[in-house]
Structure 1
């Protein structure tokens, strides 16, 4: 069996995962202050630039489903090299772009390949090593996914202060190259999961068309009213297709995504918490950044949001201790409540002062770090570990739709509701607060309706792949005696 010189070495594989995920996730939060500079240099108008960013986010969402399909029928580690190569190509195109086509193609490739790498590389890091390594892995996931996003405003502010953007994109290119090199050095031949499985064309088509349409409609809100052929039609139509995707996967005999087995109390509560936390946190940060950018310099503004990264680091460390205990469930609830508190603080003045924004961003960082990845593990522990890739794909697809699509909608609300941008932002932040509290209340309600006493996961049993980490009651089991759970993907 062919393998690289660093195959199976946990530090090298973990570094590869970090280098693969950080570039695009950091860029997605760093582009705000440098977007006008990029648009000017590559000759893209504001609306065209906004659509480009929307299509990159759509690529990220679609890649979660494509990665699962490729893993079923193609050698996974070989595909990891393909994804890494395409990410490097996309990064070079964006960094060296001299016209719209180069930047558009390159940035969309960055979004698509990041999620392909995420779904292909992270599950083996979780289940491919002894349980003793899981503590390090959960820290890496939290810091890698949310730490990168939290650092985005700081990085963008530094680059905007220098009145440029290419140095940042060349740094991203260097990191992508390091990820590709590590992918080759840690190469270990891995067969397809199920080479005889059918290609799920309906799932691929629904995911692709639905995400592209929904993100296109949301990105058009920059220059069009909400009720417009360019916005509401693609937006609602795309969301409808994503709903149809999940209905199809729930009813299919051989589903690509294990939707049916996730329809029980604990995973549904976890997914709802992740969606609400992602939508509320990204939107709240985007709204306050947009508002405060009118009152201060990009560098000072970016440094104001540095506490968000500190919050992500703190929660990652705490999660590494809590994830093996029944306190995991309460941890997600506390995270949603702290996220809500951060939004309230940032909404305490209009516009918020820089100190209020700093304190609020710190609480938002703690809140989102304590809710999204922990909620992913609540869903993942409910199935056998060999299905973690599919679970991760479902959660990341929904998280991407919630995080990257709700924010532009609420930015449009802030600009068009009330007597000005200040009052509009206040209204939009109240919506963020409602989303965060809804995640907490729905989760508590589902636990009560399922008669759940928060269990501690059987990590060793789950890692063996022979059994779930715990038993998850059917939805609303308190009111549905005798109903059995679908165990097709457990």
Structure 2
């Protein structure tokens, strides 16, 4: 594997990520004051420029999905170099554009390359270095995204004051070139993530067509009414395709994006929801008020009004870095939503031209942005294993792009068309933004409360090692659905010294639990044979259609729907964990989709570093009755971990396991 001279050096990698993300994000925020100048010099209409921005934002959203797909099948670091090259090419084309077509093409390439760089480079920066670097990474990620956005209006105002736009674009191209140079210097060859993963062309097509249609439709609001077919058909059709993408990925057996895992777990749903509310609400606090201030002040003056937003983003980035290893990071997005609501309130009071109030509103908005989206992203990411972080970033950035970039033209349309008075219309739009900020805070708190989720200190060692999430996230709305919501006792690497027998192994006992009476008997017998104070992991292995376990209740479910089978398996595993706790173990539950069953058991045992596997093998008739069952035999032959086989009681019937009945895809125990 080839390496660059700066490979593995955190400062160089961090600088590369920073330089790769800032150009497009800062440029997007700087374009508004430059619209008249670009329109005049390239002979573009305002509608064409709006279409250019819409297509660039659509490319940014689509790039998140493409980057995940490419990472599965292509060498990841080599692709990062390709993305950096595309960013440079797009930036040069846009800066040197002789006409509208070239300008739009360059801007689209910039948006596409930036999101792909984010997905390819940011997760390795987060999990590829020791935990003490994570604070710095949190600050960098916050500043790359929201510091750049906060700086954009000032940069755009300075450039507009000079009645030029190309110098700014050439500076962006130079920064992109520096990012490419650092990408080459920090190159550390890495293989594809999963060459056997399916090529999900359907997901890519849905994302591409859906995002393009939705953003093009929203861009039409510059010259069309919201009720016009040219707006509603592509915008709502595109949103329908994006929703179809989410449903398709939720139901897919081997999804490209981890939608199912995220949307069935409480803390990721809360994090993603808060991020979307914040992204949508913040547009009302910045873009709309800027259009009002432009009627009273010069572009540079307006840029200075928004400069405190950068200061607020810097302060909150440092705060985020300080709390990322603590329980308090759960509360940071909530604080951010409150600050965002306060910032919008000050902006409302500042209209049409109260500079002191606008400065306060700008500072509060900067603090809010630094406290909401990036922290919420990490809150969601910490709830899953670190090998899912790339896909978590992709999902959040895809949805955030839709929420933020599509809301902007809708709010602008509302402000200009509501009453014919820009100040009054902007005030109404700001009220909508204020309601979104409050609604986002209520949503996050409600999800935590109704799911039984509790703020926890992240276990970053486990997370960075890839062994488990940084904390436990209960099932979504667990309390309403009657599911266990309390965090199970984790399986630590070693039992407390005061309670551990000198010869007791340090790893947990792993129980393979399929809901049968024999599996229950194995747990009770193991409790009598093993030392007390043992930790245990109770695993239920499942597959769609074949199921592979007996549900712990008599409620039927559709065996062809993976989501229903998975939910039943989780309930069955938790039932087994409750039995283990009653037998004296400190246990947690785990449901795994795997085929064949033995493979899931063996992989779970190795992943949790189990010291023993306990099985209750099912008795077979004839010659096979003298063996211990195909699953047990396969487990024994595929692991070096000790396996305890607990046979059926002598008085048990030969076929004690309740049979599974399938009728038109529906299964139930009887």
- TM-score for the superposition, normalised by structure 1: 0.98
Asked if the contact 2:285–2:343 (Cα under 8 Å) also holds between the matched residues in 1, the reply is: no
Q: 2: CA distance between counterparts of 1:362 and 1:374?
A: 18
Distance 2:403 2:44 in 1: 26
C-alpha contact (below 8 Å) 1:288/1:352 kept by paired residues: no
User: Which structure ranks higher in relative contact order (CA pairs < 8 Å, sequence separation ≥ 6)?
Assistant: 1
Deviation at 1:475, TM superposition (A): 1.0
Q: Aligned partners of 1:232, 1:458: CA distance in 2, in Å?
A: 47
RMSD: 1.3
Q: Structure 1 residue 468: deviation in Å?
A: 0.5
Q: Distance in 1 between matches of 2:248 and 2:284?
A: 30
User: Offset of 1:95 from its aligned partner?
Assistant: 0.7
Map of 1:187 onto structure 2: 187
1:209-264 deviation digits (Å, cap 9, x = unpaired) = 11000000110000000011111111111111111111011000000000111121
Pair 1:475-2:472 in alignment = no
Q: Which residue in 1 is equivalent to 2:380?
A: 379
- Structure with greater proportional helix content: 1
CA deviation vs aligned residue, 1:353-387 (integer Å, no higher than 9, x gap) = 22221110110110111011100011001100011
2: distance between equivalents of 1:218 and 1:61? Answer: 15
Residue matched to 1:339: 340
Aligned match of 1:207: 207
The number of aligned residues is: 490
Q: C-alpha separation between the residues in 2 aligned to 1:129 and 1:135?
A: 11
Q: Which residue of 1 aligns with 2:223?
A: 223
In 2, the alpha carbon distance for the partners of 1:479 and 1:269 equals: 16
1:358 match: 359
Cα distance in 2, alignment partners of residues 154 and 294 from structure 1: 16
Could you tell me how far apart the structure 1 residues matched to 2:249 and 2:173 are? 36
State the Cα distance separating 1:350 from its structure 2 match: 3.1
Q: Does 1:147 align with 2:147?
A: yes
Match of 1:18 in 2: 18
Structure holding more strand per residue: 2
Conserved 8 A contact 2:95-2:166: yes
Alpha-carbon distance in 2 for matches of 1:418, 1:449: 41
Matched residue, 1:115: 115
**How do 1:44-193 residues align onto structure 2 when only pairs under 5 Å count?**
44-193=44-193
How far, CA to CA, are the matches of 1:439 and 1:487 in structure 2? 32
Task: Say whether the 8 Å CA contact 2:75–2:191 is kept in structure 1.
Answer: yes
The alignment partner of 1:364 has SS state of helix
1:326: which partner in 2?
A: 327
- Cα separation, 2, equivalents of 1:487 and 1:425: 51
- The CA distance in 1 between the partners of 2:39 and 2:114, in whole Å, is 23
Give me the whole-angstrom Cα distance separating, in 2, the residues matched to 1:232 and 1:291: 27
Shift of 1:487: 5.8
Aligned equivalents of 2:126, 2:214: Cα separation in 1: 31
Q: Check if 1:241 corresponds to 2:235.
A: no
- In 1, Cα distance between equivalents of 2:271 and 2:161: 40
Contact 2:296 / 2:353 at 8 angstroms: preserved in 1? no
Superimposed CA distance per residue, residues 393-418 of structure 1 (whole angstroms, 9 cap, x where no aligned partner): 00011111111110110000001112
Which residue is equivalent to 1:464?
Answer: 465
Deviates more, 1:346-355 or 1:332-341: 346-355
Q: 1:4 to 1:447 in 2, by over 3 A?
A: same
Cα distance in 1 for residues equivalent to 2:128 and 2:103: 37
Asked if 2 retains the 8 angstrom alpha-carbon contact of 1:20 and 1:117, the reply is yes
Query: Does residue 315 of structure 2 align to residue 317 of structure 1?
Result: no
Matching residue of 1:8: 8
* Separation in 2, partners of 1:352, 1:178: 40
Instruction: Say if 1:261 and 1:487, in contact at 8 Å, map to a contact too.
Output: no
